[in-house]
Amino acid sequence: MRLLVVEDDAEAAAYLAKGLRESGYVVDHADNGMDGLYMATNETYDAIVLDRMLPRLDGLAVVETLRKAGKQTPVLILSALGEVDARVQGLRAGGDDYLAKPYAFSELLARLEALLRRGEGPTQQTRMQVGDLELDLLGRHVTRAGKTITLQPREFRLLEYLMRHAGQVVTRTMLLENVWDYHFDPQTNVIDVHVSRLRQKIDKDFDTALIHTIRGAGYCLRESD
């Protein structure tokens, strides 16, 4: 997997590149918008991590130009502007996800994974399966090892999201944003409680756990450890 990091802060870029390389990515770096745009248009990347405030060409302009040129490379926008409005602007310009600085590296990694996997597999799935857990989107029906599991509507959406990202780390913030449409951090770890409730229904009566807690990052739904 090849990534392009467009970030003008040399130190931040170095840390980011180091972290991403250690996670198994090949990383190119541009320190301004013009070079970033040039590289993004002329090379093939699997995803682009783009700072919003860049010298020479603003991050939003980079995404817009890229999209106009027909390049559909997934873009994760990084920004010091954490306002919901700024986020909406970023997504409207053509960004695929938006992360406010300062961010946890695990958060960035999880979101990047989600972006990279998005292209895979049919998006119009009606059934999803992880191990012996099955989810029927049309019938709103969940079974594990053939046993029906009754879920509340929100629990169903939570499980659906986890299953869509099966095998990937999903952070609490990602769950809040995508399952609840909340764009702020509640003071109490409400997500943990929701996940543990879901766990009660999905994992409790079975030998192997499917929902795993990833320390310092979030959760992961997968067949085995």
Partner 1 sequence: MVLGLVYWTTAALIDQQTVTAINTEMAGLRDIYRRGGVNALIAAIDNRVSGYQGYHHLYLLAPQEGGAPLVGNLRQWPGVPPDRNGWMRFTVEGEGDRQGQLWPAQARLVHLSDGLRLLVGRDMTERTGFAQIMEQSLAFALATSLVLGVIGGIVMSRNLLRRIDAVNRTAQTILEGDLSGRVPVSGAGDEFDRLAINLNSMLDRMQKLISAMREVSDNIAHDLRSPLNRMRSRLEITLVGKPDLAEYQRSLEGALEDTDAILHTFNALLSIARIEGRHATESFEAVDLAEVVACTVELYEPVAEERGQTLVYTPPYADHPPTVLGDRHLLSQAAANLVDNAIKYTPEGGHISVFVNVALGTVRLVVADDGPGIPEHFRGAVLNRFVRLEQSRHTAGTGLGLSLVSAVAELHAARLELKDNDPGLRVELHFPERAAPPAQAEAAQ
Q: Which of residues 148-167 bind partner 1 (CB under 8 A)?
A: 154
Question: Per rule CB under 8 A, is residue 42 in the interface with partner 1?
Answer: no
Which of 12, 190, 209, 214 contacts partner 1 by CB under 8 A?
A: 190
Residue 8 has what DSSP assignment?
S
Q: Which stretch binds partner 1 (CB under 8 A): 13-21, 22-30, 62-70, 182-190?
A: 182-190
Cis peptide before 74 (omega within 30 of 0): no
Nearer to partner 1, 72 or 189 (CB): 189
Q: Does 180 bind partner 1 (CB under 8 A)?
A: yes
204 near partner 1, rule: CB under 8 A: no
Token digits of residue 158: 């939570």
Q: Which residue in 97, 28, 32, 41 sits closest to 59, CA to CA? A: 32
Minimum distance from CB of 60 to partner 1 (Å)?
17
The residues in 46-75 that bind partner 1, with binding defined as CB under 8 A, are none
Tokens representing residue 37 in the block = 């745009």
Count of residues that bind partner 1 according to CB under 8 A: 20
Task: Specify the residue, 38 or 180, whose C-beta has the smaller distance to partner 1.
Answer: 180
Report the half-sphere exposure of 114 (CA within 13 A, side-chain side).
Answer: 23
* CA pair distance 155, 158, nearest whole angstrom: 5
Q: Which of 11, 22, 85, 120 binds partner 1 (CB under 8 A)?
A: 85
Q: Per DSSP, which regions of the chain are E strands?
A: 2-6, 26-30, 47-51, 75-79, 97-100, 127-130, 133-136, 141-144, 147-149, 170-171, 211-214, 218-221
**CB 133 to partner 1: min, Å:** 21
Which residues are at the interface with partner 1 (CB under 8 A)? 82-85, 102, 104, 154, 180, 182-188, 190, 193-194, 197, 216
